[in-house]
């Protein structure tokens, strides 16, 4: 296997050699949401050839980013999960996701939305400072995609699947990005059908919009840290 390197003795260059191969960073993002099987990864990465996925998994395992684990009986199946070293890429993934979100407007022809991209997106745009001491739960549907958010005393957990007992249940489309970016108000989002409240109050929805916002200035973030 010819190593594709950059010929520089430099931490950044070495990092790019690991995560910069095609599909590699998306694999890591999906595994940040939670451990997955080969087929789960395939489904979450539209268009990736199986041989490329196999190659990336081996390379990333070699690099100490993830590990291949055989589940105990009776499941006996195989899952891929990030090592601690791999999980430390979360900051980078969030920083890059935040940057990319700024120029995200509307879906391109054929583009899909995946659960894991949304899970990481909501983790990324979560305004921790607005959530001090807050305990609340949400369920969000985007077409077939359903995910839930639990905020427990300001700490967030985002996962796939429904949460029937959630305080606020929403149905939305890609247009919800405009709400998160502050381009439209919560009232507008409801009025034009971008978001539909299945359960919960408008007031609760306004708080939701405060808790998740895209454009956070670096200065503001530093002030929080």
Partner DNA sequence: CTGGATCCCTCACGATACTG
Partner DNA sequence: CAGTATCGTGAGGGATCCAG
Q: Which residues bind DNA (CB under 7 A)?
A: 1-2, 4, 21-23, 37-40, 47-52, 54-55, 57, 68, 77-79
- If contact means CB under 5 to 8 A according to the sort of partner, which of a copy of itself, DNA, none does residue 78 touch? DNA
Long-range contacts of 149-157 (CB under 8 A, 24+ apart): 149/122, 151/211, 154/128, 156/123, 156/126, 156/128, 156/131
Point out which span in 4-12, 73-81, 147-155, 203-211 binds a copy of itself (CB under 8 A).
4-12
| 66 CB burial (10 A radius; 0-12, 13-18, 19+) | buried
- If contact means CB under 5 to 8 A according to the sort of partner, which of DNA, a copy of itself, none does residue 182 touch? none
Q: What is the 3-state secondary structure (H, E, C) of 91-107?
A: HHHHHHHHHHHCCCCCC
Of the residues 51, 72, 102, 153, which one makes contact with a copy of itself according to CB under 8 A: 102
CB of 183 to DNA, least distance (A): 32
| Angstrom distance (rounded) from CA 151 to CA 126 | 10
| Structure letter (DSSP) for residue 212 | B
Footprint (CB under 8 A) of a copy of itself, residues 191-210: none
Question: How far apart, in Å, are the Cα atoms of 43 and each of 34, 49, 122?
Answer: 14, 11, 20
CB-based contacts of 76: which residues, under 8 Å, 6+ apart? Answer: 70
CB of 125 to a copy of itself, least distance (A): 9
| Angstrom distance (rounded) from CA 19 to CA 63 | 10
- If contact means CB under 5 to 8 A according to the sort of partner, which of DNA, a copy of itself, none does residue 13 touch? a copy of itself
Of the residues 73, 91, 153, 164, which one makes contact with a copy of itself according to CB under 8 A: 91
Footprint (CB under 8 A) of a copy of itself, residues 31-90: 45-47, 64, 83-85, 88-89
Binding site for a copy of itself (CB under 8 A): 4-16, 18-20, 22-23, 25-26, 29, 45-47, 64, 83-85, 88-89, 91-93, 95-104, 107-108, 110-114, 117-118, 120-121, 124, 174, 214, 217-220
């Amino acid at each position: 296997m010819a190593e594709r390197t950059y010929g520089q003795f430099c931490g950044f260059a070495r990092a790019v050699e690991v995560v910069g191969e095609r599909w590699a960073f998306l694999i890591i993002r999906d595994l940040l949401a939670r451990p997955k099987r080969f087929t789960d990864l395939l489904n979450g990465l539209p268009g990736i050839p199986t041989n490329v996925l196999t190659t990336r998994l081996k390379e990333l395992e070699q690099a100490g980013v993830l590990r291949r684990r055989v589940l105990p009986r009776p499941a006996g199946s195989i899952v891929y999960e990030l090592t601690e070293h791999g999980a430390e890429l979360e900051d980078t993934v969030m920083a890059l996701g935040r940057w990319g979100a700024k120029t995200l407007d509307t879906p391109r022809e054929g583009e899909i939305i995946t659960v894991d991209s949304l899970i990481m997106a909501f983790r990324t745009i979560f305004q921790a400072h607005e959530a001090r001491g807050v305990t609340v739960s949400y369920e969000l549907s985007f077409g077939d995609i359903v995910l839930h958010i639990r905020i427990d005393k300001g700490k967030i957990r985002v996962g796939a699947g429904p949460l029937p007992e959630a305080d606020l249940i929403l149905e939305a489309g890609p247009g919800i990005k405009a709400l998160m970016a502050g381009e439209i108000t919560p009232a507008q989002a409801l009025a034009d059908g971008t978001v539909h409240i299945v359960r919960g109050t408008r007031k609760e929805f306004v708080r939701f919009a405060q808790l998740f916002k895209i454009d956070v200035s670096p200065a503001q973030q530093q002030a929080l840290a």
